[in-house]
């Protein structure tokens, strides 16, 4: 039985009405006939979205089939995927929840349940909760929201500021937003009707705060401190040249001092808006005392149950507008005494869009619609990006780079953002969803065997270091023409084995040609979206094969 629009509206309005259900109860309760059993709880509701990457309209987005945790995180949320994920949370294979939360049977289930997300549909859900919980709702966003689409690239982020203003966002944090550059970020912040918060961004020379570290909101008579935490490794994960005068970092001591400052103001609740990633959030709140809730982004992890660390609830709300987190809190004596939570799948084909938001989105997209809708090729393969080890859309990008430059191999960064495309037509908008960044230029150059291994060692240490504070974001670099094995339990310099280029074993003094894009340094080559669009138009029909690293 499929959810109707009416069923789903009831789910959005009432789903947070009981404490976290046992897995078997969750599977029963999510059936449409049982959704009406839920009732609201407590005196405050927090709604949260993150990592939409400016996807204004409904999309397909396949969850990863590999999300590897190392050290203490091994085998624990958020590092569960597929059937292991479904078993852990007691979800039935083939169900709506299996489609929303996992990659299992993705193509078949996508045809049954359709696209997800879209801000007109999110707005419908948010409006419904606000009507039900009048005066008790705060809506928060934790960034990677004003970047990632063609329209955001072409409007330099203004499209999403207009959307978030219309949604009456209460506060946000950021990461990819900073890749517009210092001047443009400040312009965008001035356009916002809500605070852009970052306790950990300072002037690199003088140490002055660049943004407000926190704001205090009142909801239903409760005083709620909202503290911002920008992605701490922005100058490492993205080009330093965009933010040359700003310093970042986790800045634990500063966070503790900010928490202490707002606690001294006798607030009822302390909420951190974080773009650390779920693993880093867990470590942070184990070391910084006084945080009640941390709503997070960056790692795109949709976690159906809050992770409890000490007295702190850690929330991961997925990405791409697929989910709306709802957290109902019962607060007494400045403490959370009870809570309810639901990671609500935004099933856009089962919800009526909000008319005003739909009109705004049409207005934003109208000048670009013809360009976005161009069908550039057909794909015989499922094209996706998110995966700890590989992404088939990146293989298409690498194929295009190898074809354009005639090199031995190609690299594509392990970004997490980018639509999933089902077998069938591929549009220009699909390609821009993978490539629309402010440093898109491609390049080709030479590299020695030793340097190649060193580069891969550095990348894998970033991803698989057991200390979350040393994980600086992203999935494994994608490649075409490389074969290698990753030893997960290895240490820096000892994880990459059996490295080959086009089947040839790599020796330190060997020299190879390769191409890539999204370089930290300025590059002279054509933008990657032009390279891929030209390749797609030329090929007309594409099929990709994965060059997936082996694991030990």
pLDDT tens for 94-131 read: 998 899 999 999 999 999 999 999 999 999 999 989 99
* Burial of residue 17 (number of CB atoms within 10 Å: 0-12, 13-18, 19+): middle
User: Is the whole-model pTM more than 0.85?
Assistant: yes
- Which residue carries 């809570």 as its tokens? 339
pLDDT > 70: what percent of the chain?
93
pLDDT > 90: what percent of the chain?
80
Token pair for residue 508? 């330190």
Q: What is the mean pLDDT of residues 167-174?
A: 98
Q: What is the mean pLDDT of residues 299-324?
A: 96
Q: How many CB atoms sit inside 10 A of residue 474's CB?
A: 18
- DSSP 3-state assignment of 354? coil
DSSP state, residue 244: T
pLDDT tens for 213-246 read: 999 999 999 999 999 999 999 999 999 999 999 9
CATH class of the structural domain 374-551: alpha beta
* pLDDT for position 39: 67
* pLDDT for position 547: 84
Strand ranges inside 318-457, DSSP E: 323-332, 335-345, 375-379, 409-412, 424-427, 442-448
* pLDDT for position 473: 67
Q: Which residues of 222-246 are buried (b: 16+ CB within 10 A; e: fewer)?
A: bebbbbbbbbbbbbebbbeebbeeb
DSSP state, residue 91: P
Q: What residue spans define the domains of the chain?
A: 42-56+134-363, 374-551
What is the rounded CA–CA span in Å between residue 265 and residue 283?
A: 26
Q: How many CB atoms sit inside 10 A of residue 43's CB?
A: 18
The closest alpha carbon to 348, from 360, 340, 357, belongs to 357
What is the rounded CA–CA span in Å between residue 465 and residue 459?
A: 10
Q: Which CATH number fits domain 42-56+134-363: 2.40.420.20, 3.60.21.10, 3.90.180.10, 2.60.40.10?
A: 3.60.21.10
Q: What is the mean pLDDT of residues 525-541?
A: 98
Q: What is the mean pLDDT of residues 403-410?
A: 97
* pLDDT for position 350: 85
Q: What is the mean pLDDT of residues 191-204?
A: 98
Residue 11 CB partners (closer than 8 Å, separation 6+): 3, 35, 38, 344
* pLDDT for position 426: 98
């Amino acid at each position: 039985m499929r959810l109707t629009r009416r069923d789903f509206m009831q789910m959005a309005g009432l789903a947070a009405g009981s404490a976290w259900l046992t897995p078997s109860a969750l599977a029963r309760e999510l059936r449409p006939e049982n959704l009406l059993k839920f009732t609201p709880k407590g005196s405050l509701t927090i709604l949260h979205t993150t990592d939409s990457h400016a996807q204004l309209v409904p999309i397909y987005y396949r969850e990863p089939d590999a999300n590897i945790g190392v050290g203490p995180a091994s085998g624990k949320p958020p590092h569960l995927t597929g059937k292991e994920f479904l078993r852990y949370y007691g979800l039935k294979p083939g169900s709506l929840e299996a489609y929303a939360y996992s990659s299992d049977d993705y193509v078949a289930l996508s045809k049954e349940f359709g696209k997800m997300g879209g801000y007109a549909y999110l707005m419908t859900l948010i409006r419904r909760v606000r009507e039900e919980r009048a005066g008790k709702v705060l809506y928060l966003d934790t960034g990677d929201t004003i970047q990632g689409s063609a329209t955001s690239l072409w409007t330099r982020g203004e499209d999403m500021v207009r959307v978030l203003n219309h949604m009456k966002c209460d506060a946000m944090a950021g990461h990819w937003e900073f890749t517009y550059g210092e001047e443009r970020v400040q312009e965008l912040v001035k356009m916002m009707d809500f605070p852009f918060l970052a306790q950990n961004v300072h002037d690199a020379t003088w140490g002055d705060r660049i943004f407000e570290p926190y704001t205090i909101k009142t909801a239903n008579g409760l005083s709620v401190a909202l503290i911002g935490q920008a992605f701490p490794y922005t100058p490492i994960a993205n080009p330093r040249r965009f933010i040359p005068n700003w310093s970042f970092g986790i800045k634990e001591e500063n966070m503790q001092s900010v928490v202490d400052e707002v606690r001294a103001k006798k607030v009822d609740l302390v909420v951190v808006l974080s773009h650390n990633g779920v693993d880093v959030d867990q470590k942070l709140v184990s070391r910084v005392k006084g945080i009640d809730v941390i709503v997070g982004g960056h790692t795109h992890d949709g976690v159906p149950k809050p992770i409890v660390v000490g007295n702190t609830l850690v929330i991961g709300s997925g990405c791409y507008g697929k989910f709306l987190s709802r957290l109902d809190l019962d607060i007494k004596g400045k403490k959370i005494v009870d809570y309810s939570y639901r990671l609500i799948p935004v099933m856009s084909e089962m919800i009526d869009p909000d008319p005003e938001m739909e009109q705004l989105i049409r207005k934003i997209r109208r000048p670009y619609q013809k360009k976005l809708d161009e069908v550039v090729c057909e794909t015989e393969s499922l094209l996706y990006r998110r995966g700890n080890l590989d992404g088939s859309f990146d293989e298409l990008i690498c194929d295009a780079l190898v074809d354009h430059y005639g090199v031995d191999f190609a690299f594509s960064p392990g970004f997490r953002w980018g639509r999933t495309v089902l077998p069938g037509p591929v549009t220009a908008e699909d390609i821009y969803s993978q490539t629309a960044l402010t440093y898109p230029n491609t390049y080709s150059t030479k590299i020695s065997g030793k340097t190649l291994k060193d580069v891969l060692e550095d990348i894998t240490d970033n991803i698989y270091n057991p200390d979350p504070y040393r994980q600086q974001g992203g999935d494994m670099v994608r490649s075409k023409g490389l074969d290698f094995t990753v030893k997960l339990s290895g240490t820096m310099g000892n994880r990459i084995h059996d490295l080959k280029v086009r089947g040839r074993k790599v020796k330190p003094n060997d020299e190879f040609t390769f191409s890539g894009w999204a370089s930290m340094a300025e590059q002279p080559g054509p933008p990657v979206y032009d390279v891929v669009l030209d390749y797609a138009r030329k090929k007309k029909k594409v099929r990709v094969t994965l060059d997936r690293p082996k694991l030990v």
